[in-house]
Structure 1
Amino acid sequence: MSKLIDTNKPESRNWLKEWRAVCITRQALLPPVSAEAAQLHGDILNKTKVPACTTCSFRDVQNRNASCQYHVVLRNELVNEHAYGQKNGIGALTKAENWAHSPWEIAKVFMPPAGYENKTTIEETDFNGIAAFIINCTRFQGKITDAVCKKAREVVNRIRHMPDISSTALTDQATTECIDNLYALLNEPGLNTLPEAIQAQAELDVVIFNTVSLHF
């Protein structure tokens, strides 16, 4: 797509605007989502009350073959914390042997089963992975509405999968709607008072009206 960018074309400028908006929104999500992952990690570990285990694999845990009480307890707690865990169990690719010391390794339990196995920090994780954690983890209920987060993820996917620069996702109206949906996510109760979200909303306002300074 980058080879097709011609900033003299409105579609190209809109493409840059949309991706700039995604980057701004993702950056604002990093501190609060990271803090929630750390809180979840600490709360779950406090419930194990047994020494940590580093020998069971994630497949052992996923298939209920874990040989230690530590991972049995952790698995049950993660299923309880997962919005769809009771129905679907744990399906993501994560390293159970790292659960004891890595909050983000636990957060990955709530992400899609492919694409995040080697992402060790939130900084390495894309918008969709972060959105999946928000949507699938019950800790965010009452703070960020599923429908709002899903809509934001939907518009990001639209940008990611557009076939070419003439896509209908790059009209002025589509670009405004894209940024509006990201703005709405930042305006959720669990985010809208945070300095990062307030600053990001101000930056999104600039992106909407700016036709020149679109540097990432």
Structure 2
Amino acid sequence: MAHQLHLEKEKYRQWAKAGLGLGYSKEGLAPFCDDVAKQQHKDILDNIKQTKNISTVTCGQCALKTLKPDHLKIGKNQCPLGQVNCNCCYTSGKIACPNNACGAIYDDIITNHASSPPAPYWKNTQTQQWTGDPWSIAKCFINAPGYDQKTSSADIDCSGLLHVIINNKYFHNHIQCNLAGANVFSKVRQYRNEIFHSGTMELEKAVANNYIDDMIAVLKDGKELINRKDAQDAVTKLEELKNKDFVVTTENMEKVLGDVREETGNLRKLTGLATKDDRVNLKRKLSAVESLMSELKEVVKRLKIDDSALKNNRSTKSQN
């Protein structure tokens, strides 16, 4: 059977191990990201209360397309915060927030975006939720499609969480690693593509272990993550993946399949938004991931059949 041939191949087991490692990394990062996102949201609202001299920050009425920022353009259509195509440069039809809040939040998101020029991914957010939902702000720092309907860190994959950490200057204050230029956080973010866009579902053991070593390094960052139980529990799982013989089971393959299914959805959205030139390459990637998902579904299906047969065999033996 095809699935049995996969399970017997060492390189396939190493690929599955690396895919599962991404899931463990997400488990270790999600609570940390949730705490920092909530603190950033609180600080933004507290700053608005202080600077605007208001007791409560609430809105829910503003739309991104028509929102007038607090900052003003300089010169001829030049944003002082450096954002390209900023709302400040196209003032016709722009409306100031009636509750004196959303323009300031818009400014804060741009100021905290770490790219140069700053480039928040506005398609992932709903401005109407900014004053009440920390992740509506945090998702602006995920520079990839597919996260617009996500409502918490628990809904966001490892790659998305790493986007938030890398692209959000506020998070940099909670990380010891220098996130400018080449760094282990950016390397792990890239691993998702290398693992899930693989057409062979194979990895050398040394490569898989290197991936896992970098995932561990992220979760052992010396500023805060090193002292968080959830992060270090994930490190324990990752170390076990690396140091013990990895056995492919129904449970762990279902976890990998869930991540691949999510990657497929993200690629479909990205393909729909892409320019004509980019669409060909994205369709190729999407086809590879869809093929991968189909193969994994078959593996999980056969594993479940094997599990059922094993249970029935045990039950028969116990009755005899």
- TM-score (normalised: structure 2): 0.61
1:52-201 superposed matches below 5 A: 52-61=58-67, 63-64=87-88, 65-68=94-97, 69-84=100-115, 87-93=117-123, 94-142=125-173, 143-145=175-177, 146=179, 147-166=183-202, 170-189=203-222, 190-201=224-235
> Does the CA contact (< 8 Å) of 1:92 and 1:111 recur in 2?
no
> Does the CA contact (< 8 Å) of 1:92 and 1:114 recur in 2?
no
Q: Distance in 1 between matches of 2:37 and 2:215?
A: 21
Structure whose CA Rg is larger: 2
Q: Which amino acid aligns with 1:63?
A: N
Shift of 1:5: 7.5
- Per-residue CA deviations over 1:84-138 (Å, capped at 9, x if unaligned) read 3x72343332101001111111100111141111111111111111100000111
- The answer for the alignment partner of 2:247 in structure 1 is 212
- The answer for the alignment partner of 2:303 in structure 1 is none
Q: Distance in 1 between matches of 2:247 and 2:118?
A: 47
- The answer for the alignment partner of 1:43 in structure 2 is 43
Q: Which amino acid aligns with 2:146?
A: G
Q: Which amino acid aligns with 2:162?
A: A
Q: Distance in 1 between matches of 2:95 and 2:227?
A: 42
Q: Distance in 1 between matches of 2:6 and 2:225?
A: 35
> Does the CA contact (< 8 Å) of 2:19 and 2:196 recur in 1?
no
Q: Distance in 2 between matches of 1:91 and 1:180?
A: 30
> Does the CA contact (< 8 Å) of 1:186 and 1:197 recur in 2?
yes
Q: Which amino acid aligns with 1:7?
A: L
- The answer for the alignment partner of 1:9 in structure 2 is 9
CA RMSD of the aligned region, Å?
Answer: 2.2
- TM-score (normalised: structure 1): 0.88
Q: Distance in 2 between matches of 1:48 and 1:90?
A: 20
Q: Say which is worse superposed, 28-37 or 119-128, in terms of deviation.
A: 119-128
Q: Unpaired segments of 5 or more residues in structure 1?
A: none
Shift of 1:67: 2.1
> Does the CA contact (< 8 Å) of 2:58 and 2:131 recur in 1?
yes
Q: Unpaired segments of 5 or more residues in structure 2?
A: 68-85, 89-93, 253-320
Q: Which amino acid aligns with 2:241?
A: V
**Structure 1 residue ranges, 4+ long, deviating more than 6 angstroms after superposition:** 2-5
**Structure with more contact order per residue of length (Cα contacts < 8 Å, sep ≥ 6):** 1
